[in-house]
Structure 1
Amino acid sequence: MARRAARGAAVAAAAAGSSGDPTLYSIIAPTYNEAQNMPLLAALLDEACAAAGLTYELVVVDDGSPDGTADVVRALQAVYGAQRLRLVSRPRKLGLGSAYAAGLAASSGGWVVLMDADLSHHPKHIPALVARQAATGADVVCGSRYLPDGGVAGWGLARKLTSRGANVLARTALGLAPSDLTGAFRLYRRALLARLLPAARCTGYAFQMEVVARAAAAGARIEEVPIVFVDRLYGASKLGPHEFAQFLSGLARLLLEL
C-alpha cells in the first residue's frame, strides 16, 4: 500500500503540468548503487543531446544508494548545473514505478525518456527515438533489442533465450505488435505517461510490459527503433529469478485486466 500511495502522490503532483515544455526532453534515470556509472552517463548524455541539438534535463531518482550515488550526482551538478541535472533523493527502495513517477513530478519536459543509469542504454540512441517520434507523430517510441540492427552485448545464451522467450510469450498472449515489451529505453509523450503511471500495478521488469500494454489499450501510437543493449560496465545486475516470477505474475494480471 505504501508503494502504491507513493506512486500515486508523485503522479498527482505531476498532473497539474502534464503537457510540459514541448521543446524540452526530460530524461529520467532511476538509480541504486550507480555511483561509478554516473559521471560517464552524464557526459555521454550531454554529448549526444548537444550533437543532436536537443534541450534536455537529466532527472536522477536515487533510492538511498549506500555507495554514495546521490553524492556523485550532487558533485556533477557543479559541472552541468542543478537545472540541467536534477536529483530526487529518496530514503530507500520504493519501486521502479514510483521512481518514474517521482522523476516525472520533478521534471518539466513535454517529452520523457525513461532509461537505465547503468550504461546498458547508450545515450547515443536518444536522437533516434526523437527522430522517429517527429517522423511518425508517435506517442511512444520504444528502443528495441529485437529489430534488425538491434541486439544485446555481454549476455550469455541462457539470458538471451530467457529475454527473447519472455517477449514472444508476452506479445502472443497480449496481442501486441512491439517487438520488445520488456525493454526500459523509451520515449513517451508526457501527458500520456502521466495518465499511464497511476494505473500501473506490476513491479520490477513486468512494469515495462504493463505500461506499453496500457498505452496500446488507450489507443496510443507506438513506434520502435533498434538499439544495442550492452550489459552493465560497473556494479551488479539486479535481474534474477524473482524478477522473472514478477514478470509471469504481471502477465497473468494483464490478461485478466486488459
Structure 2
Amino acid sequence: MSKFHVSITPEPDSVSSATAHQQNSSSLPYTTASARTVNHLNMSSKHNKYSVLLPTYNERDNLPIITWLLTKTFQEHDLDYEIIIIDDNSPDGTLEIAKQLQKAYGENRVVLRPRAGKLGLGTAYIHGIQNATGNFIIIMDADMSHHPKAIPEFIRKQKENDYDIVTGTRYAAGGGVYGWDLRRKLTSRVANFMADLLLNPGVSDLTGSFRLYKKDVLHQIINATVSKGYVFQMEMMVRAKQFNYSVAEVPITFVDRVYGESKLGANEIAGYLKGLWSLFTSV
C-alpha cells in the first residue's frame, strides 16, 4: 500500500478566538499562539532543529523583515533554528544586508552561503542542505509572500503522523491569495489544474514553495529532480509521490511581494508548460 497521502489542517489563525485574532491582526504583524500550543511545541520539538533555506536575489528590502519575523516565531515557540541565506550575487546589495543581519542575530542563527551568480533554485537548495545542521528543512520565499506564523502549525501537523513533508496550500479551505490581479490568479489556477490533471500529484497546491521537509527526504527528492525554474517545486511533489513519502497540507495565506518585482514572466510561464509536458511524458 502506498504511504503517500495528504492530510489538511486549518490555518493557524482559524483556531484562535475571534477576539484574539482581531487584536493581533490590528496591532502586530505576527499572530501569537496560545500558551498551550507553545508548550506543546516546546515539549515535542525539544531535540529538533529547523533550518530555513532562503534563496535570495535582489531582496535587500524584504530580508530584514522576514529574518525578524522568523526569529520572533522560533523564539516565541522555543524552537532551535538557523536561517541559511543563499544569495546569488544580487546587484542590489542583498548580501551586505545579510552580513549586517548576521552581526545582529549571531553566526549560529544567520548563516551566509552566497554564490557567484544565478545558478537556479534547485542548486540553491542543494547548497543550503549541504550547509544545514537541522534535521528538518523549511523552504520559503524571502519576499514576504510566506508568513512565518504558519511554521508552528507546519511543525504541529508534521508530528501528528510523523509526516515526511508538510506543504502550504493556497487552495484549501482557510487558504488564500492577496495582492494578485485576475490574470495572475488565473495563471496560478490554470497551472495547478493542468498539473493535477496530467500528473495527479495528490496535493492541492503543486506550485507552492512554502514547505517543511525531513532533511533526508528533501535530499533524496532534490537529487531525483531534474526540472529548472518554476517547474522545480512541482516536480518535487511528483517525486514525493513516486517515492511514497507521506504529505500533509496546511492552508496558508499568500501575499504578493511589497518590495521588489515579481520574477514570474512570459519566459517562466513557457518554461512551466514545457516542464509540465516533460514530466507527463517521463514520470
Structure 1 residue runs of 4 or more that deviate by more than 4 Å after TM superposition: none
* Per-residue CA distance 1:6-62 (angstroms, 9 max, x = gap): xxxxxxxxxxxxxxx961000001000001111111110011111222211000100
Cα distance between partner residues in 2 of 1:143 and 1:86: 24
**Contact persistence 1:22–1:111 (CA under 8 A):** no
For 2:200, the equivalent position in structure 1 comes to 175
Cα distance between partner residues in 2 of 1:27 and 1:132: 17
1:207 corresponds to which of 232, 249, 265: 232
Counterpart residue identity of residue 64, structure 1? N
For 1:76, the equivalent position in structure 2 comes to 101
For 1:118, the equivalent position in structure 2 comes to 143
For 2:78, the equivalent position in structure 1 comes to 53
Mark the runs of 5 or more structure 1 residues left unpaired by the alignment: 1-20
Matches within 5 A, 1:9-158: 23-158=48-183
Cα distance between partner residues in 1 of 2:274 and 2:108: 39
Cα distance between partner residues in 2 of 1:247 and 1:56: 33
Please report how far the alpha carbon of residue 257 of structure 1 lies from its aligned counterpart in structure 2 after TM superposition. Answer: 2.1
For 1:250, the equivalent position in structure 2 comes to 275
**Contact persistence 1:140–1:222 (CA under 8 A):** yes
SS of 1:171's equivalent? helix
**Contact persistence 1:25–1:56 (CA under 8 A):** yes
Please report how far the alpha carbon of residue 202 of structure 1 lies from its aligned counterpart in structure 2 after TM superposition. Answer: 0.9
For 1:18, the equivalent position in structure 2 comes to none
SS of 2:48's equivalent? strand
Cα distance between partner residues in 2 of 1:237 and 1:38: 15
* Per-residue CA distance 1:144-163 (angstroms, 9 max, x = gap): 00011100100001110110
For 2:32, the equivalent position in structure 1 comes to none
1:189 corresponds to which of 201, 214, 226: 214
SS of 1:57's equivalent? strand
Would you say how many aligned residue pairs link Structure 1 and Structure 2?
238
Identity %: 46
- Relative to structure 1, is the Cα distance of residues 198 and 161 closer, same or farther in structure 2, using a 3 angstrom cutoff? same
SS of 1:247's equivalent? helix
Please report how far the alpha carbon of residue 251 of structure 1 lies from its aligned counterpart in structure 2 after TM superposition. Answer: 1.2
TM-score, normalising length: structure 2: 0.82
For 2:188, the equivalent position in structure 1 comes to 163
Cα distance between partner residues in 1 of 2:74 and 2:169: 20
Cα distance between partner residues in 2 of 1:176 and 1:195: 17
TM-score, normalising length: structure 1: 0.90
Cα distance between partner residues in 1 of 2:134 and 2:276: 31
**Contact persistence 2:201–2:237 (CA under 8 A):** no
Cα distance between partner residues in 2 of 1:113 and 1:22: 16
For 1:7, the equivalent position in structure 2 comes to none
The structure whose Rg is larger is: 2
Cα distance between partner residues in 2 of 1:235 and 1:217: 36
For 2:255, the equivalent position in structure 1 comes to 230
Q: Which moved more, 1:92-101 or 1:167-176?
A: 167-176
Cα distance between partner residues in 1 of 2:181 and 2:135: 38
